[in-house]
Amino acid sequence: MNNAQPANRNLILIGFMGTGKTAIGYRVARSLGFRFVDLDHMIEDEQGMKIPEIFERSGESAFRDMERAALAKAAAEAGAVISTGGGLAAQQENLPLLQDSGYVIWLRASAETIFERTSRNANRPLLQTADPMQTIRTLLAQREDLYRRACQFDISTDDLSLDEAAAGVAETARYAMSGGL
Ligand code: S3P
Report the atom number in ligand 1 closest to the C-alpha of 17.
14
Query: 3 to each of 57, 86, 103, 109, how far by Cα in Å?
Result: 39, 22, 11, 22
Query: Which of 43, 50, 94, 124 best tests ligand 1's pocket when mutated (most atoms within 8 Å of CB)?
Result: 124
Q: Which domains does the chain have, with CATH numbers?
A: 11-175 (3.40.50.300)
Report which protein residue has its CA nearest ligand 1's atom 8.
Answer: 85
pLDDT of 120:
87
DSSP state of 107: E
pLDDT digits (tens, 9 = 90+) for 92-131: 999 999 999 999 999 999 999 999 999 988 899 999 999 9
pLDDT digits (tens, 9 = 90+) for 35-68: 999 999 999 999 999 999 999 999 999 999 999 9
- Centroid of chain to Cα 93: 16
Under the banding of pLDDT at 50, 70 and 90, the label for residue 155 is: very high
pLDDT digits (tens, 9 = 90+) for 8-33: 689 999 999 999 999 999 999 999 99
In the reported structure, the alpha carbon of residue 124 is separated from the centroid of ligand 1 by a whole-number distance in angstroms of 6
Report the atom number in ligand 1 closest to the C-alpha of 60.
6
Mean pLDDT to the nearest integer, 148-169: 97
Using DSSP bridges, classify how beta strands 103-108 and 11-14 pair: parallel, antiparallel or unpaired.
parallel
Q: Read off the pTM.
A: 0.94
